[in-house]
Amino acid sequence: MSFHEGDPARGASLVVGLLVILVETCRLRLRFPTRILPCPPIGTISLHESSRFRDWSFARQNRGMHLDHVTYAAGPLGLEQEARRLESLLGVKSFDGGLHPGFGTQMRLIPLAEGRHIEIVEVLDHPAAEKAPYGQAVRARSEMGGGWLGWVICLDDLTGYENRLDRKARQGARNFPDGRRLEWEQLGVMGLIADPQVPFFIRWISEPGLLPSALEGTIILHEIEIAGSRGRVEEWLGEELPDTFDGVRINFDAPSGYPGIMSVTFETDQGLVRI
């Protein structure tokens, strides 16, 4: 992020946003002291160390969890060009997903098979993007050149994770170009900012016909390769994360590197495509 000369209000807003991230990161580190931040290098957590976080009442051993989508932050090319690049790699078309007015972002999506999708997202020059954690996360990833931002798990009820993370889910909405409005709740974006290897959570509110899963896709999400530690993500989820989660392979590598999604592999008509 950079401050703009002659615009003290925006500068103050950015400072407040950075302070909010700092406070939340410290709060999460106190609540989950085994390692939230990417530095020092991750990867040394043991199952014994993380097991103390797993004994919680609503642990479901992945039952009811759906790997809903992966998000890709546009880089210097911008949203439209980035979407065209992914379209070319996968051999499919993307759709205009409209605006996230509360987050200060806009997006396009590529529908996938099995009720999933790719969200290609771009931050806007809007005050909401400087205040909302999701807008801050997208801006930070885009300023690093763009790329995979995170993975998102859908649940029917976020209450258990609200209690676990000691915070309430945030209301989200997206306005379609035709005026329709998609609504959901999301939780854990501050955790994603603090440690980009962990997923955040979503609960859809709108009727099924408005959801991204209503768009039929043929591309299959095959594998997510993550720089990080399976133990760290299990600590975040509060339960074991199998090698195949909801039909998708989850592979961990580079435990001492900067955490986050390294690549995503898709099954297409032309074979496997790794991005």
* Per-residue confidence (pLDDT) for residue 62, from 0 to 100: 59
C-alpha torsion sign, points 229, 232, 236, 239: positive
Q: How many helices (H) and strands (E) does the chain have?
A: 8, 13
- Which pLDDT band, with edges at 50, 70 and 90, does 175 fall under? confident
- Give the whole-number percent of the chain exceeding pLDDT 70: 77
176 to each of 94, 103, 184, 213, how far by Cα in Å? 14, 15, 14, 15
Contact call for residues 187 and 236 (beta carbons, < 8 A): no
Distance between CA atoms of residues 14 and 180, nearest Å: 31
Mean per-residue pLDDT, 30-56: 32
Bigger pLDDT: 51 vs 6: 6
* Per-residue confidence (pLDDT) for residue 63, from 0 to 100: 64
Tell the burial category of 113 from Cβ atoms under 10 Å away from its Cβ (0-12, 13-18, 19+).
middle
Bigger pLDDT: 176 vs 2: 176
**Which region among 21-35, 37-51, 135-149, 246-260 has the lowest average model confidence (pLDDT)?**
37-51
Tell me 44's DSSP state: -
The top-scoring range by mean pLDDT among 8-12, 216-220, 255-259 is: 216-220
pLDDT at 8 over 60: no
Mean per-residue pLDDT, 203-230: 95
Closest-CA residue to 139 (of 102, 193, 98): 193
Q: In what order do the strands lie in the sheet with 220-227?
A: 244-245, 248-253, 220-227, 260-268, 271-274
226 to each of 46, 129, 149, 151, 265, how far by Cα in Å? 18, 26, 11, 10, 12
Distance between CA atoms of residues 50 and 57, nearest Å: 16
* Per-residue confidence (pLDDT) for residue 221, from 0 to 100: 98
Contact call for residues 105 and 123 (beta carbons, < 8 A): yes
pLDDT tens readout for residues 120-154: 999 988 888 888 889 899 999 999 999 999 999 99
Q: pTM to 2 decimals? A: 0.78
What are the structural domains, with CATH classification, of the chain?
66-274 (3.10.180.10)
Three-state SS for 180-227 is CEEEEEEECHHHHHHCCCCCEEEEECCCHHHCHHHCCCCCEEEEEEEE
The distance of Cα 273 from the centroid of its chain, to the nearest Å, equals 21
Mean per-residue pLDDT, 234-238: 95
* Per-residue confidence (pLDDT) for residue 7, from 0 to 100: 53
pLDDT tens readout for residues 58-111: 334 456 899 999 999 999 999 999 999 999 999 999 999 988 888 889 999 999
Bigger pLDDT: 49 vs 33: 33
Closest-CA residue to 109 (of 96, 99, 122): 96
Tokens for 76, please give them: 């210097």
- Which pLDDT band, with edges at 50, 70 and 90, does 12 fall under? very low
Q: At how many degrees (to 10) do helices 8-31 and 133-143 cross?
A: 100
Bigger pLDDT: 103 vs 112: 112
Bigger pLDDT: 34 vs 228: 228
* Per-residue confidence (pLDDT) for residue 127, from 0 to 100: 83
Mean per-residue pLDDT, 21-48: 37
